[in-house]
């Protein structure tokens, strides 16, 4: 095969992973636009409305790790394509759902399929591009950002002018295109595929542990952690059993030797910390802008510049990381993110948004663009090629858990700071807050939340500065194989 022909097949595979992953990312959020209409149409409660959203995220977080293990053994391309088909079938069920219960079940099935799709899309890029995957991951990040940016507006158009059911039915032709592109993009792999039997007990215990942690965080944040204690007990028991099983089976789903690889362990720890910080910003920033007096549309548009910067710069930073090593980007990126959060913390009026908020968005977006592709590429490339799927699943699990845990903890921090600063009634950062004391307490609570988030990002920068090795990153998979085997 000529070099040009191989490059064309790589591009087809990249297009397939972008399209398939975009479906999964957009459906995680676009349903929020349609929830009020769906609730009126299917006649279910507020709790049902919440679970239409949460069922997807819960299944997704629980199955990242098993999905990566399946891809390592059964083939990343085949598993990715199966995930896309499963996502399309679940989308058809969601679009045709006659009741709220059926819709919730369909959303859980969507989340399960999305785990196999998203995890193996990144592993497939590593397999297809080999040690030059950083640039491809950057392009993947940029294009999926475009889809994520355009998803909610498209959902609003469909809900208002057609039907809420079409936010699910529109997935079907797009999924078909992703499968065709993945099939046509078959090319010789540049990273080794892992073979062997699937560790079913380990897969089940991992899904149970991560699923219960996610459920406990989500339910605890909403209804009080005193009511969710049992979920953490089950998660701890499942995790302990998982460790025992993985140490005893002949072919474990999660080889603990991976954590002997310096860059792999450090990149995942940084992912947990920095994505926790990002979770705090993404959750509270838009709400706070509306608290200051911006309309929902204006608050939503404030996130557009960040996506545009990601689109323009992610691939470039990914390529530079491949060429020169990731340490600089994984250190400076979180520092810039933390700087943006500090600027956000200074906002106490609409005028402050233009003085501190806009510069904060510029700094924050630049840091995010510098971070995302290099950290994902480092987490994948530092593992031996045959473990690409499990490496991708672990990295996405760390990012999701960091995000959920940080949002839950920051929600508690916001409430405590609000109450300590005079918020003796009402809710922090509420839209209808006019009492000066309560508004001041809400602003103090937001400031502390941003500073705590900045602290998490700063911790991630320090982890990279002292832990990431450019030498190991540039040596590639041979070094990883030796570390994992030692």
pTM of the model: 0.72
Tell whether the model's pLDDT for residue 162 goes beyond 90: no
Is the separation of the CB atoms in 291 and 468 below 8 Å? no
Pairwise pLDDT comparison (438 vs 186), residue with the higher score:
438
pLDDT at 55: 80
Tell whether the model's pLDDT for residue 299 goes beyond 80: no
CATH of range 257-486; options 1.20.1250.20, 3.30.70.141, 3.40.50.720, 1.20.1530.20: 1.20.1250.20
pLDDT at 135: 73
pLDDT at 193: 56
d(CA 379, CA 371): 12
pLDDT band per the 50, 70, 90 thresholds, residue 382:
confident
pLDDT at 385: 67
Three-state secondary structure readout of the chain: CCHHHHHHHHHHHHHHHHHHHHHHHHHHHCHHHHHHHHHHHHCCCHHHHHHHHHHHHHHHHHHHHHHHHHHHHHCHHHHHHHHHHHHHHHHHHHHCCCCHHHHHHHHHHHHHHHHHHHHHHHHHHHHHHHHHHHHHHHHHHHHHHHHHHHHHHHHHHHHHHCCCCHHHHCHHHHHHHHHHHHHHCCCCCCCCCCCCCCCHHHHHHHHHHHHHHHHHHHHHHHHCHHHCHHHHHHHHHHHHHHHHHHHHCCCCCCCHHHHHCHHHHHHHHHHHHHHHHHHHHHHHHHHHHHHHCCCHHHHHHCCHHHHHHHHHHHHHHHHHHHHHCCHHHHHHHHHHHHHHHHHHHCCCCHHHHHHHHHHHHHHHHHHHHHHHHHHHHHHHHCCCHHHHHHHHHHHHHHHHHHHHHHHHHHHHHHHHHHHHCCCCCCCCCCCCCCCHHHHHHHHHHHHHHHHHHHHHHHHHHHHHHHHCCHHHHHHCHHHHHHHHHC
Mean pLDDT (the chain) is 82
d(CA 214, CA 56): 11
Tell whether the model's pLDDT for residue 352 goes beyond 90: yes
Pairwise pLDDT comparison (122 vs 483), residue with the higher score:
122
- CATH code for the structural domain at 1-184: 1.20.1250.20
- Percentage of residues in the chain having pLDDT higher than 70: 86
- Asked which of 63-77, 195-209, 262-276 is least confident by mean pLDDT, the reply is 195-209
pLDDT band per the 50, 70, 90 thresholds, residue 364:
very high
**Residues 96-140 pLDDT 10s:** 999 888 999 999 999 899 989 888 887 788 778 776 667 777 777
Tell whether the model's pLDDT for residue 310 goes beyond 70: yes
d(CA 289, CA 357): 10
What residue spans in the chain does CATH classification 1.20.1250.20 cover?
A: 1-184, 257-486
Cite the DSSP H helix spans in 43-132: 46-74, 76-95, 100-129
Per-residue pLDDT averaged across 21-43, rounded? 76
Tell whether the model's pLDDT for residue 221 goes beyond 70: no
Per-residue pLDDT averaged across 303-316, rounded? 76
pLDDT band per the 50, 70, 90 thresholds, residue 412:
confident
Three-class SS state of 441: helix
- Percentage of residues in the chain having pLDDT higher than 90: 26
Q: Is 269 left (phi over 0), alpha (psi -120 to 50) or beta?
A: alpha
Sign of the CA dihedral running 204, 209, 210, 216: positive
d(CA 382, CA 376): 10
pLDDT at 68: 78
**Cα separations (Å) of 431 from 44, 181, 298?**
25, 46, 15
pLDDT band per the 50, 70, 90 thresholds, residue 416:
confident
- The secondary structure of 195-225 as a DSSP string is -S---HHHHHHHHHHHHHHHHHHHHHHHH-G
d(CA 388, CA 264): 11
What size, in residues, is the chain? Answer: 486
């Amino acid at each position: 095969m000529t070099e040009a022909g191989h490059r064309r097949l790589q591009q087809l595979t990249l297009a397939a992973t972008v399209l398939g992953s975009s479906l999964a990312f957009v459906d995680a959020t676009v349903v929020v636009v349609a929830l009020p209409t769906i609730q009126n149409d299917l006649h279910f409660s507020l709790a049902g409305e919440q679970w239409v959203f949460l069922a997807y995220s819960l299944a997704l977080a629980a199955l990242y790790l098993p999905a990566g293990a399946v891809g390592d053994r059964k083939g990343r391309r085949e598993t990715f394509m199966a995930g896309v088909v499963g996502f399309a079938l679940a989308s058809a069920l969601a679009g045709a759902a006659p009741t709220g219960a059926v819709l919730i079940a369909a959303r859980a099935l969507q989340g399960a399929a999305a785990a196999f799709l998203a995890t193996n899309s990144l592993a497939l890029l590593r397999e297809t591009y080999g040690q030059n995957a950083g640039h491809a991951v950057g392009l993947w990040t940029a294009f999926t950002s475009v889809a994520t940016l355009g998803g909610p507006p498209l959902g609003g158009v469909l809900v208002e002018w057609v039907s809420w059911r079409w936010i699910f039915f529109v997935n079907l032709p797009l999924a078909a295109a992703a499968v065709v592109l993945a099939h046509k993009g078959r090319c010789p792999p540049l990273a080794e595929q892992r073979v062997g039997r699937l560790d079913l007990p380990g897969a089940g215990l991992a899904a149970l542990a991560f699923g219960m942690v996610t459920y406990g965080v989500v339910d605890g944040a909403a209804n009080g952690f005193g009511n969710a204690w049992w979920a953490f007990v089950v998660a701890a028991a499942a995790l302990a059993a998982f460790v025992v099983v993985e140490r005893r089976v002949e072919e474990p789903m999660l080889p603990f030797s991976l954590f002997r690889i310096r860059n792999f362990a450090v990149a995942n720890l940084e992912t947990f910390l920095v994505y926790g910080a990002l979770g705090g910003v993404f959750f509270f920033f838009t709400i706070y802008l509306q608290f200051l007096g911006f309309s929902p549309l204006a608050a939503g548009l404030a996130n557009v510049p960040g996506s545009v910067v990601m689109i323009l710069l992610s691939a470039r930073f990914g390529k530079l990381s491949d060429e020169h090593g990731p340490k600089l980007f994984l250190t400076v990126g979180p520092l810039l993110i933390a700087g943006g959060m500090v600027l956000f913390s200074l906002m106490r009026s609409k005028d402050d948004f233009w003085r501190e908020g806009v510069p904060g968005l510029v700094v924050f977006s630049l840091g995010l663009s510098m971070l995302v592709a290099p950290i994902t590429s480092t987490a994948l490339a530092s593992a031996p090629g045959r473990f690409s799927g499990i490496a991708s699943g672990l990295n996405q699990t760390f990012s999701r858990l960091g995000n959920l845990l940080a949002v839950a903890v920051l929600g508690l921090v916001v409430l405590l700071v609000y109450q300590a600063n005079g918020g003796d009634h009402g809710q922090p950062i509420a839209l209808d807050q006019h009492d000066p004391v309560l508004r001041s307490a809400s602003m103090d609570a937001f400031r502390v939340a941003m500073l705590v988030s900045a602290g998490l990002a700063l911790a991630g920068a320090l982890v990279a500065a002292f832990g990431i090795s450019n030498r190991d990153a540039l040596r590639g998979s041979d070094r990883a194989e030796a570390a994992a085997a030692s």
